[in-house]
Amino acid sequence: MRKVMAAAVLVILGMVGIAAQAPKAEPVYDVSFLAGPPGEEAYYTGTSTFTVDAKGMVTGTMTILSPTTVRATLSGQIEKGVWKFEYPYEMVDQGCWGTLSGSADVTADRKKVSGSAFIGGDCSPEPIKGTFTFMLQAKK
């Protein structure tokens, strides 16, 4: 009986230890994007997560909330401080899809990511150029 109780206590303690380990929070960035046809550019703002693995592979999400809703799943790779990317996006309000491709400089501390992108697809039949900045949010 003591062996069963001891085993049960160990299982419970192990489960508590697993539950106590909070998942690692991904860094969150404020996003500012300037894009549109020449003379009709607009600022788009939202947030992004941006993580980089040991091989320089980027993962994350971007959600623009103003002036329209845009969602994207980030990808690409960073080499020598430059992120090269091509990933799909969705303009929710318009019900269309497209692709963002380009490159950005990434600071060594990853607090700032800024660069340019070409925007194409159903949402932009004529590809347009945009510029963007991701700024790491201060920890609360």
Residues 6+ apart with CB under 8 A from 126: 37
Contact of 8 with 15, CB cutoff 8 Å: no
Contacts 24+ apart (CB under 8 A), 112-121: 112/136, 113/29, 113/50, 113/83, 115/83, 117/35, 117/85, 119/35, 121/88, 121/89, 121/96, 121/97
DSSP output for 3-40: HHHHHHHHHHHHHHHHHHSPPPPPPEEEEEEEESSTT-
- Report the pLDDT value the prediction gives residue 7, as an integer from 0 to 100: 41
- Report the pLDDT value the prediction gives residue 57, as an integer from 0 to 100: 97
Strands 28-35 and 82-91, how do they pair?
unpaired
What is the pTM assigned to this prediction?
A: 0.79
Phi, psi of 7 (to 5 degrees): -65, -40
- List per-residue pLDDT tens for the chain, 140 residues long: 544 444 443 344 444 444 445 566 789 999 999 998 889 999 999 999 989 999 999 999 999 999 999 999 999 999 999 999 999 999 999 999 999 999 999 999 999 999 999 999 998 878 999 999 999 998 76
- Report the pLDDT value the prediction gives residue 126, as an integer from 0 to 100: 87
All structural domains of the chain with their residue ranges: 26-136
Exposure string for 66-82, b = 16+ CB within 10 A, e = fewer: eeeebebebebebeeee
Q: Which CATH architecture has domain 26-136?
A: Beta Barrel (2.40)
